[in-house]
Structure 1
Amino acid sequence: MTELLRADGLSAFYGASQILFDIDLVLEEKCTLALLGRNGAGKSTTMKTLAGIVPAGSGRIVLAGRDITHAPPHARAKLGLAYVPEDRQVFPEHTVEDNLLIAAKSGPDGRRDWTLPRIWDAFPLLANLRARQAGRLSGGEQQLLVIARALMGNPLVLLLDEPSEGLAPIVVATISRMLRELRASGATILLAEQNMHFCLRIAEMAVVIDKGKVVHREDTAGLAGNDDIRRRYLAI
């Protein structure tokens, strides 16, 4: 398969404190990779460093064969990297439809597979809420909206940071089903999560991170039965 996103020896700092230590990741086209770890393990910092929000202290980030290590966030977005942060940043005074239209653009290869009609088909709940102000949506509805808004940019790679965090089980199940459908449609996704069971139903491969370091790599089928790794690095 074609390699779309790679991080080699990635480190990152907050001030004088080093948070990431030589992170290596490879995400192939049309695959979903789970980045798993407890709260504070470094998952969100990894995602922010890939997105360009936190600068890389060392190492290299490559997107579709292009070195983006020092590219600003907007340049990475233009090249096809879409980042959905954990805090569900919507435009609260704008409607659901306006939030989507704001983000509409062709992908870096000129494709426009994700259009408003396709979003309504893929996210029927949002179709029913299209005229509602985004600030009046529930947390789960806002999470669906920010994922859909990222897709409106027709990205090559979708970075999802803790999409199940703080949501009711029925909403988590809805997001899980939607992400499985995205994977089946050929989307390329890096999914950072604490909720291992959520990820096991979505991703093919998993990377486990602890204290800013990669400590384990395995396909999700193997990880599901790896009691030692689950107990050491993923148990709450």
Structure 2
Amino acid sequence: MTDLLWTERVSTFYGASQILYDIDLALQENRTVALLGRNGAGKSTTMKMLAGILPARRGRIFFAGRDITEAPPHARAQLGLAYVPEDRQVFPEHSVEDNLLIAAKRGPDGRQEWILARIWDTFPLLANLRSRQAGRLSGGEQQLLVIARALMGNPLVLLLDEPSEGLAPVVVAVIGKVLRELGASGATILLAEQNMHFCLRIAEEALVIDKGKVVHRQDTVGLAANEDIRRRYLAM
């Protein structure tokens, strides 16, 4: 398989404080990979680095065969990199449908697989709420909306930062079902989470991050049976 997104020894800082240390990761096309770690391990920083929100002080970032290390967030988005942050940034005064239409565009290769009709089929809960103001949705409904909104841009890669955080189990199950369906349809997803059990049912492979370093990489079946790694880096 072809690596669609990868980094080479990337280090990132907040001011003078180093947060990521020589990060090497690779995301293959049509795969779902989980970035797992405890709170504060560097998961969200990694996602912001990939999206271009935080600069790489050292190292290189490549996407779809291009060096995007110096590219700003909007340029990465135009190339097909969609980032869904953990804080569910909806347009609160606009309807669900308007939030989706705002983001509608063809993908970088001209693809237009995601249109409103497909969104309504994939997210039936949102279809029933299409006229509601986004600010009046529950946290779980907003999470579904921001994932759907990212898909409306027909991206090549979907970066999801903590999509299950703070949500009721029933909503987490709905999001998990949607992500499994996306993966089965050929989507390329990097999923940052501390909820290991949620990720193991979705991703094919996992990267474990601890104190800003990738410390382990394994398929999710193997990780589920790897008690030593789970105890050292993932136990709460």
TM-aligned CA deviation for residue 3 of structure 1: 1.4
1:208 aligns with 2:208: yes
* 1:90 equivalent in structure 2: 90
Amino acid in the other structure paired with 1:114: W
Q: Equivalent residue of 1:155, what SS?
A: coil
* 1:61 equivalent in structure 2: 61
After TM superposition, list the pairs within 5 Å mapping 1:52-201 onto structure 2: 52-201=52-201
Runs of 4+ in 1 over 2 A off after TM superposition: none
Structure 2 unpaired stretches of 5+: none
Query: 1:60-104 CA deviation, whole Å, 9 max, x = no partner?
Result: 111110110010000000000000000000000000000000000
TM-score (norm 2): 1.00
> How far apart, CA to CA, are the structure 1 residues paired with 2:163 and 2:55?
23
TM-aligned CA deviation for residue 134 of structure 1: 0.1
* 2:22 equivalent in structure 1: 22
Query: 1:4-41 CA deviation, whole Å, 9 max, x = no partner?
Result: 10011011000000000001111011100000000000
> How far apart, CA to CA, are the structure 1 residues paired with 2:204 and 2:36?
13
TM-score (norm 1): 1.00
> How far apart, CA to CA, are the structure 1 residues paired with 2:4 and 2:156?
8
Query: 1:96-135 CA deviation, whole Å, 9 max, x = no partner?
Result: 0000000000000001000000000000000000000000
> How far apart, CA to CA, are the structure 1 residues paired with 2:193 and 2:10?
19
Q: CA RMSD in A?
A: 0.4
Identity of aligned residues (%): 82
After TM superposition, list the pairs within 5 Å mapping 1:1-16 onto structure 2: 1-16=1-16
Amino acid in the other structure paired with 1:61: I
Amino acid in the other structure paired with 1:104: A
> How far apart, CA to CA, are the structure 1 residues paired with 2:2 and 2:113?
19
> How far apart, CA to CA, are the structure 1 residues paired with 2:167 and 2:125?
16
* 2:37 equivalent in structure 1: 37
Q: Equivalent residue of 2:57, what SS?
A: strand
> How far apart, CA to CA, are the structure 1 residues paired with 2:234 and 2:24?
19
Amino acid in the other structure paired with 1:81: L
Q: Equivalent residue of 1:56, what SS?
A: coil
Equivalent pairs, count: 236
Amino acid in the other structure paired with 2:149: R
Structure 1 unpaired stretches of 5+: none
TM-aligned CA deviation for residue 143 of structure 1: 0.1
> How far apart, CA to CA, are the structure 2 residues paired with 1:3 and 1:213?
20
* 2:222 equivalent in structure 1: 222
> How far apart, CA to CA, are the structure 1 residues paired with 2:219 and 2:27?
13
> How far apart, CA to CA, are the structure 2 residues paired with 1:102 and 1:158?
18
Amino acid in the other structure paired with 1:8: E
> How far apart, CA to CA, are the structure 2 residues paired with 1:36 and 1:30?
19
Query: 1:167-210 CA deviation, whole Å, 9 max, x = no partner?
Result: 00000000000000000010000000000000000000000000
> How far apart, CA to CA, are the structure 1 residues paired with 2:170 and 2:95?
24
